[in-house]
Amino acid sequence: MAEKVCPICGMTESRFKATMYLGCPDCYKNLNVKEVIMSCQGASVHIGRKAFKRDTPEIAMLRAEYQNAVRFGRMDDAERLKGMILARGGRP
């Protein structure tokens, strides 16, 4: 499978997998964010194992989005995502 690259910021799926940070708001739709996170579950090398042990892929995905929202100063989105993470029993 060819690796997807975000045309906006140049973020690649493998880099996202290693850092769990998106490069720009468009990465979310340009990369297979969900698939990358799902595949990390099996590998769980680069990211905090503790966090991923308890977290569902959904929470992990929400957290990645949350961190991205914080990073880009989208505080409304951040608050909404934080609520969604907490509602699912995760920690933002």
Interaction site with Zn ion (CB under 5 A) = 6, 8-9, 11, 23-24, 26-27
Nearer to Zn ion, 4 or 82 (CB): 4
Nearer to Zn ion, 51 or 70 (CB): 70
* In the complex, least distance from residue 89 CB atom to Zn ion, rounded to whole angstroms: 29
d(CA 16, CA 11): 7
* In the complex, least distance from residue 54 CB atom to Zn ion, rounded to whole angstroms: 28
* In the complex, least distance from residue 28 CB atom to Zn ion, rounded to whole angstroms: 8
Q: Which residue is nearest to Zn ion (CB)?
A: 6
Sequence-separated (6 or more) residues with CB below 8 Å from residue 89: 59
Q: Which two tokens stand for residue 75?
A: 């505080």
Contact at 8 Å (CB) between 46 and 18? yes
Nearer to Zn ion, 10 or 48 (CB): 10
d(CA 73, CA 85): 18
